[in-house]
Amino acid sequence: MNVQFRGLRVASAVFALIAFAQLMRLVIRPEILIAGRQMPIWPSVLATVILGGLSFWLWKLSRTPYQ
C-alpha cells in the first residue's frame, strides 16, 4: 500500500470519527452552553454533512488507482 493511500485512509477515518461525534450530538442533544447561551443544533447538522462527505470522498480516492 502506497503512503498516499494510507494517508487518505487515515484522514478519511478521522473525518468519519468527527462526523460520528457530531451525529451523536444530534441524537443525544446535550445542552451546550457558551458564555451562558445555549449553542444551537444546526451547526452539528452542517458539520455532519460536510465531514461525512469529506470522509466518503477521501475513502473513495484511496481506492482509486493512480495512473
- Per-domain residue ranges of the chain: 3-63
CA distances from 36 to 16, 19, 42 (A): 30, 26, 18
Report the chain's terminal Cα–Cα distance, integer Å: 15
Q: What is the pTM (predicted TM-score) of this model?
A: 0.85
Kindly tell me if the per-residue pLDDT of 54 is higher than 90.
yes
Confidence at residue 14, expressed as pLDDT on a 0 to 100 scale: 98
The pLDDT of residue 67 is above 70: no
Give backbone dihedrals phi and psi of 36, rounded to 5 degrees, phi first. 85, 0
Question: Tens of pLDDT along 43-52?
Answer: 999 999 999 9
